[in-house]
Amino acid sequence: MYSNILTRRKFIKDEAGVKEEDYVAVNFSSSFPALNIATIVACDVMKINPIIITSVGASTWGGNNLEFTYLDMEEFLFNQGLIKNKTIAVSAGGSGDIGKDMNTEELNTILDRMRDLGKTIIFEEDLKNNIDLRKEIYYEKSRNISCFINIGGNIVAFGDTTDSINASNGLMDNDFFNVNSKTGLVQYFSSKNIPVINIINIKDLANEYGLPIDPSTDFILGQGDVYYTYSYPLKLILAVVTMSFSLLIILKRIRSNYED
């Protein structure tokens, strides 16, 4: 639940300035199913058009069940009418984004299943060609991309670089990266002055917005610091301070006259 708040309320709308009917390019890994679904729900609610490409590879606690991958979860929710958008293209993920470190038979089973669902399959051994193909898919849907959203840490996000080490969560600084033959989608869109939202460090995000981390009990929906903006009545404070100083001056003068 809190991942939806982080994605929708704070980043996509408030910080990136994405408006209704805009198109956003989206890169999912399968390591964060909840964040992926949260992003889709956010786009659905705000009537934003996400162009989603997802890699199958997932970390230990990600969508790594062979029979029910993240993409199967997404397809199920779509067929149930619970989400309005879904992935249009799929890659293997893992090493080199071609699953070099994955069981070939199992990977092919998943990719065949995705192909039967009408997904475009991306399988490019050359990383630059892989990233270029993804750009083509995004821009084939819309030439006006308002934002790029990256969820997770697959190799196409930052390419064959160490930029992800210093990358921040949330809306990133577009002046932070240099683009070269080894960089990924994050650096590319950043260089085009397109807002980039990077979500990967969940604990930092939760702490920043006052949300519980691994709570032992469920918290009440609609409550939490993320729902509120704290402000202080500066004019009233200034007036009280001014009156206090004035009173001190008056009392000092009265005391001085009394002593005289």
pLDDT one-digit tens code per residue, 30-66: 999 989 998 999 899 889 999 999 999 888 778 888 8
The candidate with the shortest Cα–Cα distance to 16, out of 145, 158, 146, is 146
Q: What is the pLDDT of residue 37?
A: 94
Q: What is the pLDDT of residue 14?
A: 66
CA angle 189, 25, 104 (to 5 degrees): 100
207 against 199, higher pLDDT? 199
pLDDT value at 2 more than 50: no
pLDDT value at 220 more than 80: no
- For the segment 6-15, the average pLDDT, to the nearest whole number, is 59
Entry pTM: 0.79
Confirm if 53 and 24 have CB atoms less than 8 A apart.
Answer: no
Which pLDDT tens digit goes with each residue over 103-132? 889 889 999 999 999 999 999 999 999 999
pLDDT-based confidence at 159, cuts 50/70/90?
very high
Instruction: For the chain, give the percent of residues with pLDDT over 90.
Output: 45
Among the four given CATH numbers 1.10.3470, 3.40.50, 2.60.40, 3.40.720, the one describing domain 2-208: 3.40.50
- For the segment 57-78, the average pLDDT, to the nearest whole number, is 89
pLDDT value at 3 more than 60: no
110 against 200, higher pLDDT? 110
Instruction: Report in angstroms the alpha-carbon separations of 53 from 124, 159, 243.
Output: 14, 15, 61
Q: What is the pLDDT of residue 224?
A: 58
Q: Average pLDDT, whole number, for the chain? A: 84
- For the segment 91-96, the average pLDDT, to the nearest whole number, is 91
Query: Per residue in 129-160, is it b (16+ CB within 10 Å) or e — as a string?
Result: ebbebbeebbeeeeeebbbbbbbbbbbbbbbe
For residue 222, what are the contacts with CB-CB under 8 A and spacing of at least 6?
none
- Domain range annotation of the chain: 2-208, 230-260
Measured distance CA(108)–CA(94) in Å, rounded: 13
pLDDT value at 87 more than 60: yes
For helices 104-116 and 70-79, angle between their N-to-C axes, nearest 10 degrees: 20
